[in-house]
């Protein structure tokens, strides 16, 4: 099998030497962070397999699709409407940008004082170490952050890139702008695939993607229970994998996992002691394989019960209306759903503050950890308002600013330990 | 019961032994093998219970049969023991600066820590004292003797050092440069103090509290009296020893009952 993959990777133009080093680095990390956890749901075995085979079968599926004349559309952000991609019989794939491994490569070109997510994603292309990037026919970027926006300009020198303009306000004119962007995206995808995006296609795709949103919401609902039946790390991994796995298969696997986990709830079984401090994480996204903060918290005796982030609730919270209708009507319904994502790129963005307080209550959180990728200015500044909103509600908050490297592990542990001591009283 | 507290910092290891009051205390450099140094230090000490705090607590505690507590909690307990009316603790150590707000009852209510780099920490002062070729113990007094004001704009240890080098080559007095460096670090710490909304009494502890200039600048910038314990480096180890004594009874002890 492995030899087959090597040929495939070579055909995709992968830098095999670097790629070997990347794939060699992952298993020990995964062993330490994941496989060493106790009492994991059996349903996690699928996700273990996906990580163990991270650049294997899924890439092969995409490549097969491409060989049959299909297109692969790569994205980095929850604002890119997958429904349109799927309606044109293309496959959307969320790219990971969550490892330090590709950061030094990116720093050969990008400024060092740039967020790790931007550098990691760019480094994957520059270093030719991601078969998903290599398989894709188009990368769809967006304007949710100034750093990404400018990085995409440089990325476009290496790969076809289309940029969707995400507005910065939630006004009517911004909504109109975004609806225009979504309509234009349909044109881009039709041109790329040569397939027309029809009303039936959109309705089918909308239903499918909504199914995944429902399944993930169902999984997250199980985390509202005490004792929590699944670790934060495992739940985070499920969300991360949902970005690039086949949508229908993902729905099936997540629901199977939910069946099992709901059984645990009925039996009163938990993965952590019932009195373990329950933590809501809010802030910057955690792209695979970024498990740093979850691992830190869950090895310090806490349990992560929810992520208010793009690799959490923001990815699945609202559904697209399934009213069918004309292509125009459906595109509008799609655009409106995506405008409900409370990204820190918006000003003002007070709905996010409401979300954090609401989620803290729904998930019975004892405290909130605000996770900020270093140099992510929108989240860093919005954290000031998050802090105030939580103080008003009497919910403890710890602000963490970090990147993908491990050099600050000791300092982070000091903060986390002190925060948990504070919560425990 | 004799209890011990061990504060394994990035620069120093501090031991405090309690039997009623403090009966023994030791301050050592952490060196390159802090675990071995701790084991040697504890070898001839007798105590019933030990709590380890500081940066190296998770490394050292399992090897010396100790329990762990974060340095935020340990400093809070130590400072509160020395000054029962303490509400704010400033702890500037080797690689971290921390500011902690205590509740009326002495519980940790809120805390702030410096960013991951050495800006605004004891390490910063140490690097600068090397650059200015003065003993770290004399850096504060040197700064206080300045008769002129110069500006160092960067707080990044690396950038600040190159600024210092160019000020030296411009012929500036080392005292004026030292003062500028202290101004920078004090401003950074005061920023953290303001973020938590400080309450009096403010206690300043940790190795950097030995620095006369920093003590004076913090008081001046905060506009309140800043209390420095007689032995500011021992506060974390003292707090850990107090926690060791309290843990005999039950697991989570409110600070006020210690």
What average pLDDT does the segment A249-256 reach?
A: 98
Residue A356: CA count within 13 A, CB half-sphere = 34
Tally of domains within chain B: 2
What average pLDDT does the segment B146-161 reach?
A: 84
Contacts 24+ apart (CB under 8 A), A110-115: A110/A151, A110/A154, A113/A375, A114/A147, A114/A151, A114/A375, A115/A145, A115/A147, A115/A284, A115/A373, A115/A374, A115/A375, A115/A376, A115/A403
Q: Is A167 exposed, middle or buried (0-12, 13-18, 19+ CB in 10 A)?
A: middle
Q: Which chain A residue has the Cα nearest residue B97?
A: A411
Q: Are A266 and A63 in contact (CB under 8 A)?
A: no
Boundaries of domain holding B60? 1-83+233-258
Band (A55; pLDDT cuts 50, 70, 90): very high
**Statement to judge: residues B20 and B97 lie in one domain:** no
**Statement to judge: residues B127 and B200 lie in one domain:** yes
SS3 A92: strand
Tens-digit pLDDT profile for residues B72-124: 999 999 999 999 999 999 999 888 899 999 999 999 999 999 876 667 788 88
Tens-digit pLDDT profile for residues A301-347: 999 999 999 999 999 999 999 988 999 999 999 999 999 999 999 99
Distance from CA of B73 to the nearest CA of A (A): 6
Chain A residues inside the 8 Å CB shell of B108 = 418, 421-422
Query: Which of B90, B80, B77 minimizes the C-alpha distance to B221?
Result: B90
Chain B residues inside the 8 Å CB shell of A401 = 115-116
Tens-digit pLDDT profile for residues B165-205: 899 999 999 999 999 999 988 998 999 999 999 999 999 99
Q: Which chain A residue has the Cα nearest residue B115?
A: A401
Inspect the interface and report whether the beta carbons of A414 and B113 lie closer than 8 Å. yes
Distance from CA of A127 to the nearest CA of B (A): 28
Distance from CA of B11 to the nearest CA of A (A): 14
Smallest Cβ–Cβ distance between B70 and the set A402, A407, A421 belongs to A421
Q: Which pLDDT does position B123 carry in this prediction?
A: 86
End-to-end CA distance of chain A: 53
**Statement to judge: residues B245 and B192 lie in one domain:** no
**Statement to judge: residues B158 and B138 lie in one domain:** yes
Q: Sheet with A278-283: list strands edge to edge.
A: A303-308, A278-283, A367-373, A397-402
Q: Which pLDDT does position B250 carry in this prediction?
A: 47
Tens-digit pLDDT profile for residues A152-211: 999 999 999 999 999 999 999 999 999 999 999 999 999 999 999 999 999 999 999 999
Q: A317 CB near a chain B CB, below 8 Å?
A: no
Distance from CA of B167 to the nearest CA of A (A): 26
Q: Which helix (H) or strand (E) holds A305?
A: strand A303-308
Chain B residues inside the 8 Å CB shell of A411 = 55, 95-96, 113, 116
- Whether the pLDDT of residue A243 is over 60: the answer is yes
Q: Are B57 and B38 in contact (CB under 8 A)?
A: no
Phi, psi of A169, deg, nearest 5: -125, 170
Q: A372 CB near a chain B CB, below 8 Å?
A: no
Inspect the interface and report whether the beta carbons of A414 and B109 lie closer than 8 Å. no
Q: A28 CB near a chain B CB, below 8 Å?
A: no
Q: Which pLDDT does position B255 carry in this prediction?
A: 56
Q: Which pLDDT does position B116 carry in this prediction?
A: 65
What distance in Å separates the CA atoms of residue A118 and residue A289, rounded to the nearest whole number? 15
What distance in Å separates the CA atoms of residue B167 and residue A62, rounded to the nearest whole number? 60
Inspect the interface and report whether the beta carbons of A425 and B107 lie closer than 8 Å. yes
**Statement to judge: residues B42 and B166 lie in one domain:** no
Inspect the interface and report whether the beta carbons of A414 and B55 lie closer than 8 Å. yes
**Statement to judge: residues B189 and B216 lie in one domain:** yes
Q: Which chain A residue has the Cα nearest residue B114?
A: A411
**Statement to judge: residues B207 and B240 lie in one domain:** no
Q: Which chain A residue has the Cα nearest residue B100?
A: A418
Q: Which pLDDT does position A3 carry in this prediction?
A: 58
Q: Which pLDDT does position B1 carry in this prediction?
A: 86
Q: A274 CB near a chain B CB, below 8 Å?
A: no
Residue A3 or residue A423, greater confidence: A423
**Statement to judge: residues B27 and B130 lie in one domain:** no
Q: Are A320 and A345 in contact (CB under 8 A)?
A: no
Tens-digit pLDDT profile for residues B122-138: 888 898 899 999 999 99
A116 Cβ contact list (under 8 Å, min separation 6): A100, A103, A373, A374, A403, A404, A405
**Statement to judge: residues B66 and B159 lie in one domain:** no
Q: Are A418 and B111 in contact (CB under 8 A)?
A: yes
Q: Which pLDDT does position B254 carry in this prediction?
A: 52
B248 Cβ contact list (under 8 Å, min separation 6): B1, B48, B49
Chain A residues inside the 8 Å CB shell of B68 = 417
SS3 B229: coil
A216 Cβ contact list (under 8 Å, min separation 6): A238, A239, A242, A254, A315, A316
Task: Report residue B65 CA to chain centroid gap.
Answer: 25
Backbone dihedral region for residue A290 (phi beyond 0: left; psi -120 to 50: alpha; all else: beta): beta
Q: Which pLDDT does position A407 carry in this prediction?
A: 85
Tens-digit pLDDT profile for residues B5-43: 999 998 899 999 999 899 999 999 999 999 999 999 999
- A112-123 burial, b for 16+ CB within 10 Å, e for fewer? eebbbbbbbbbb
Chain A residues inside the 8 Å CB shell of B107 = 422, 425
Q: A248 CB near a chain B CB, below 8 Å?
A: no
What is the domain-level CATH number for residue B40? 3.30.420.40
**Statement to judge: residues B217 and B93 lie in one domain:** yes
Distance from CA of A422 to the nearest CA of B (A): 6
Task: Report residue A140 CA to chain centroid gap.
Answer: 15
**Statement to judge: residues B2 and B53 lie in one domain:** yes
**Statement to judge: residues B173 and B124 lie in one domain:** yes
Backbone dihedral region for residue B238 (phi beyond 0: left; psi -120 to 50: alpha; all else: beta): alpha
SS3 B101: strand
Query: Which of A425, A106, A128, A49 minimizes the C-alpha distance to B103?
Result: A425
Smallest Cβ–Cβ distance between B108 and the set A401, A407, A421 belongs to A421
Most confident listed range (A241-250, B150-159, B176-185): A241-250
Inspect the interface and report whether the beta carbons of B72 and A418 lie closer than 8 Å. yes
Inspect the interface and report whether the beta carbons of A418 and B96 lie closer than 8 Å. no
Interface test with A, best of B34, B53, B55, B70 (most A CBs within 10 A): B70
End-to-end CA distance of chain B: 14
Percent pLDDT > 90 in chain A is 97
Q: What number is the ipTM of this complex?
A: 0.85
Domain boundaries defined on chain A:
6-424
Band (B162; pLDDT cuts 50, 70, 90): confident
> How many other CB atoms are there within 10 angstroms of residue A77's CB atom?
21
Q: Are A359 and A224 in contact (CB under 8 A)?
A: no
Q: Which pLDDT does position B89 carry in this prediction?
A: 98
Distance from CA of B140 to the nearest CA of A (A): 27
Please report, to the nearest 10 degrees, the dihedral formed by the alpha carbons of residues B172, B178, B184, B190 taken in order.
-150
What average pLDDT does the segment A131-158 reach?
A: 97
Q: Which chain B residue has the Cα nearest residue A412?
A: B116
Average of per-residue pLDDT values in chain A: 96
Strand partners, B7: B14, B53
What distance in Å separates the CA atoms of residue B210 and residue A362, rounded to the nearest whole number? 48
């Amino acid at each position: 099998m492995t030899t087959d993959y090597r040929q495939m990777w070579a055909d995709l133009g992968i830098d095999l030497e670097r790629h070997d080093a990347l794939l060699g680095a992952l298993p020990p990390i995964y062993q330490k962070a994941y496989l060493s956890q106790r009492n994991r749901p059996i349903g996690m075995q699928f996700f273990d397999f996906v990580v163990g085979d991270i650049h294997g079968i899924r890439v092969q599926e995409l490549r097969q699709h491409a060989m049959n004349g299909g297109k692969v559309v790569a994205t980095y952000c929850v604002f890119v409407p997958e429904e349109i991609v799927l309606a044109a019989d293309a496959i959307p794939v969320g790219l990971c940008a969550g490892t330090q491994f590709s950061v030094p490569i990116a720093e050969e070109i990008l400024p060092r004082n740039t967020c790790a997510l931007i550098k990691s994603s760019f480094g994957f292309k520059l270093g030719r170490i991601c078969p998903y990037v290599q398989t894709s026919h188009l990368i769809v970027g967006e304007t949710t952050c100034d750093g990404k926006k400018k990085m995409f300009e440089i990325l476009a020198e290496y790969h076809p890139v289309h940029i969707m303009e995400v507005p910065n306000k939630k006004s009517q004119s911004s909504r109109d702008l975004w609806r225009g962007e979504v309509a234009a995206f349909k044109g881009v995808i039709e041109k790329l695939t040569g397939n027309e995006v029809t009303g039936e296609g959109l309705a089918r795709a909308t239903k499918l993607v909504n199914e995944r949103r429902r399944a993930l919401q169902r999984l997250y609902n199980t985390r509202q229970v005490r004792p929590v039946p699944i670790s934060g790390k495992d739940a985070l991994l499920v969300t991360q994998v949902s970005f690039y796995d086949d949508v229908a298969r993902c729905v099936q696997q997540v629901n199977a996992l939910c069946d099992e986990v709901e059984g645990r709830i009925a039996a009163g079984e938990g993965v952590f002691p019932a009195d373990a401090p329950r933590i809501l994480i809010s802030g910057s996204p955690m792209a695979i394989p970024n498990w740093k903060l979850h691992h830190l918290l869950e090895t310090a005796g806490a349990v992560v019960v929810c992520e208010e982030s793009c690799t959490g609730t923001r990815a699945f919270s609202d559904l697209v209306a399934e009213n069918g209708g004309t292509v125009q009507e459906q595109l509008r319904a799609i655009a409106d759903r995506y405008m409900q994502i409370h990204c820190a790129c918006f000003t003002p963005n007070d709905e996010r503050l409401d979300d954090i307080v609401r989620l803290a209550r729904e998930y019975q959180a004892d405290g909130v950890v605000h996770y900020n990728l270093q140099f992510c200015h929108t989240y860093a500044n919005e954290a000031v308002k998050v802090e105030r909103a939580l103080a008003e509600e009497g919910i403890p908050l710890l602000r963490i600013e970090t990147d993908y490297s491990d050099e600050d592990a000791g300092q982070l542990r000091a903060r986390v330990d002190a925060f948990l001591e504070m919560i425990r009283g | 019961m004799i209890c011990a507290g061990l504060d394994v910092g990035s620069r120093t290891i501090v031991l405090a032994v309690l039997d009623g009051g403090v009966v023994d205390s030791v301050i050592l450099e952490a060196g390159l093998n802090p675990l071995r140094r701790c084991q040697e230090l504890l070898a001839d000490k007798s105590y019933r219970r030990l709590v380890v705090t500081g940066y190296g607590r998770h490394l050292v505690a399992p090897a010396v049969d100790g329990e762990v507590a974060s340095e935020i909690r340990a400093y809070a307990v130590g400072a509160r023991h020395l000054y029962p009316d303490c509400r704010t603790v400033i702890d500037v150590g080797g690689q971290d600066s921390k500011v902690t707000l205590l509740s009326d009852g002495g519980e940790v209510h809120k805390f702030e820590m410096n960013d991951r780099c050495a800006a605004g920490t004891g390490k910063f002062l140490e690097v600068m004292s090397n650059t200015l070729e003065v003993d770290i113990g004399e850096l504060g007094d040197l700064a206080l003797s300045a008769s002129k004001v110069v500006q160092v704009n960067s707080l990044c240890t690396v950038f600040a050092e190159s600024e210092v080098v160019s000020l030296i080559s411009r012929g500036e007095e080392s005292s004026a440069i030292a003062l500028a460096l202290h101004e920078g670090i004090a401003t950074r710490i005061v920023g953290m103090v303001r973020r938590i909304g400080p309450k009096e009494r403010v206690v300043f502890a940790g190795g950097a509290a030995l620095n006369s200039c920093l003590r004076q600048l913090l008081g001046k910038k905060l506009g309140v009296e800043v209390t420095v314990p007689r032995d500011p480096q021992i506060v974390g180890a003292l707090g850990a020893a107090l926690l060791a004594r309290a843990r005999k009874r039950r697991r989570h002890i409110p600070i006020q009952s210690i």
